[in-house]
Chains A and B, each alone.
Chain A
Amino acid sequence: MKENILEFHQIAAGYGDRQILKDVTLAIREGDFAGLIGSNGTGKSTLIKCVSGLLPLKRGKIMICGRDNTSLKSRERAQMVAVVPQSYHVEYDFTVEDIVMMGRNPYLSFRKKESQTDRDIVEEAMQMTNTAVFRDRLYNELSGGERQRVILARAIAQKPRIILLDEPTSALDVHHQIEVMELITRLNREEHMTVLAVLHDINMASRFCQRMIMLQEGVVTADGTPREVINRQNMESLYKMKLMIRESPLFHKPEIIPIRVMPEEKITAPCHIHVICGATEAVHLLEELDAKGYTLSAGVLNKLSEDWNICQELKIPCVDIEPFTPVTEEKQAENLEFMENADIILVAGVPFGESNIMNLHGLDQTRGELYIHRNALSHDYTDGKLAKQIQLLERTKDITYIETNSAFLEILKQKEYLDKNEA
Chain B
Amino acid sequence: MKNKTDGKIDRKWAIPLSILACLAIMYVCTVTGIASIPFRDANRILLHEFLHLDVDMEGITDGSITIIRSVRLPRVVLGFLAGASLAVCGAGFQGIFKNPMADPFVLGVSSGAALGAAIGIVLHFGTTLLAFVGAFLTITLVYNISKVGKKVPVATLLLSGIAVSQTLSATMSIIMILNKQSMDQIMFWTMGSLNGKGWGQIITVLPYSLLGIALLLTTCRELDIMLTGEETAIQLGVNVESLKKRVLFASTVITAAVISVTGIIGFVGLVVPHVVRMITGPKHRVLMPLSLLFGGTFLIICDTAARSMAVWEIPVGIITSLCGGPFFIYLLRRMKRGGGL
A79 contacts B237, CB within 8 Å? yes
The residue that B234 contacts in the complex, of A54, A91, A110, with Cβ under 8 A, is A54
A54 contacts B237, CB within 8 Å? no
A102 contacts B224, CB within 8 Å? yes
B48 CB-CB contact with A under 8 Å = no
List which B204-246 residues lie within 8 A (CB) of chain A.
218-222, 224-225, 227-229, 231-232, 234-240
B234 contacts A92, CB within 8 Å? no
Query: In the complex, A258→B227 CA distance in Å?
Result: 41
Report A75-118 CB contacts with B as 1/0, cut-off 8 Å. Answer: 11111011101001011111100110011011010100000000
Given the contacts A53-B234, A77-B237, A102-B224, A92 and B219 also touching, CB distance less than 8 Å: no
Query: In the complex, A81→B283 CA distance in Å?
Result: 25
- Shortest C-beta distance, A13 to chain B (Å), equals 15
User: Which residues does chain B contribute within 8 Å of A74, judged by CB atoms?
Assistant: 234, 237-240
Given the contacts A105-B221, A110-B219, A90 and B227 also touching, CB distance less than 8 Å: yes
A102 contacts B225, CB within 8 Å? yes
The number of chain A residues touching the other chain, given as a range, is 20 to 34
Query: In the complex, A91→B224 CA distance in Å?
Result: 12
A110 contacts B224, CB within 8 Å? no
B282 CB-CB contact with A under 8 Å = yes
B4 CB-CB contact with A under 8 Å = yes
Given the contacts A92-B227, A92-B228, A105 and B281 also touching, CB distance less than 8 Å: no
- Shortest C-beta distance, B62 to chain A (Å), equals 49
Query: In the complex, A105→B233 CA distance in Å?
Result: 9
Query: In the complex, A85→B215 CA distance in Å?
Result: 32
A52 CB-CB contact with B under 8 Å = yes
Given the contacts A93-B281, A93-B282, A94-B283, A78 and B228 also touching, CB distance less than 8 Å: no
The number of chain B residues touching the other chain, given as a range, is 20 to 34
B235 contacts A75, CB within 8 Å? no
Q: Of residues B232, B281, B282, B341, which shows the largest number of chain A Cβ atoms within 10 Å of its Cβ?
A: B232
A106 contacts B236, CB within 8 Å? yes
A91 contacts B227, CB within 8 Å? yes
List which B277-291 residues lie within 8 A (CB) of chain A.
277, 281-283
The residue that A75 contacts in the complex, of B219, B227, B237, B282, with Cβ under 8 A, is B237
Report A19-43 CB contacts with B as 1/0, cut-off 8 Å. Answer: 0000000000000000000000000
User: Which residues does chain B contribute within 8 Å of A75, judged by CB atoms?
Assistant: 237-239
B238 contacts A99, CB within 8 Å? no
A158 CB-CB contact with B under 8 Å = yes
A136 CB-CB contact with B under 8 Å = yes
User: Which residues does chain B contribute within 8 Å of A136, judged by CB atoms?
Assistant: 4
Query: In the complex, A95→B7 CA distance in Å?
Result: 13
- Shortest C-beta distance, B240 to chain A (Å), equals 8
User: Which residues does chain A contribute within 8 Å of B235, judged by CB atoms?
Assistant: 52-54, 78, 81-83
Query: In the complex, A103→B224 CA distance in Å?
Result: 12
A78 contacts B237, CB within 8 Å? yes
List which A52-80 residues lie within 8 A (CB) of chain B.
52-54, 73-79
Residue of B nearest to A98 (CB): B283
A158 contacts B236, CB within 8 Å? yes
Query: In the complex, A88→B233 CA distance in Å?
Result: 13
B221 contacts A110, CB within 8 Å? yes
The residue that B282 contacts in the complex, of A73, A81, A94, A103, with Cβ under 8 A, is A94
List which B228-274 residues lie within 8 A (CB) of chain A.
228-229, 231-232, 234-240
Residue of B nearest to A56 (CB): B149
- Shortest C-beta distance, B166 to chain A (Å), equals 28
Beyond known contacts A90-B229, A105-B221: 15 more, CB 8 A cutoff: A52-B235, A53-B234, A54-B231, A74-B239, A75-B237, A75-B238, A77-B237, A88-B228, A88-B232, A91-B227, A93-B340, A102-B224, A102-B228, A108-B221, A158-B236
Q: Which residues of A contact B (CB under 8 A)?
A: 52-54, 73-79, 81-83, 85, 88, 90-95, 98-99, 102-103, 105-106, 108, 110, 136, 140, 154, 158
For the complex of A and B, list the 5 residue pairs with the smallest distance between their C-beta atoms, beginning with the closest. Answer: A78-B237, A106-B237, A75-B237, A110-B218, A92-B282
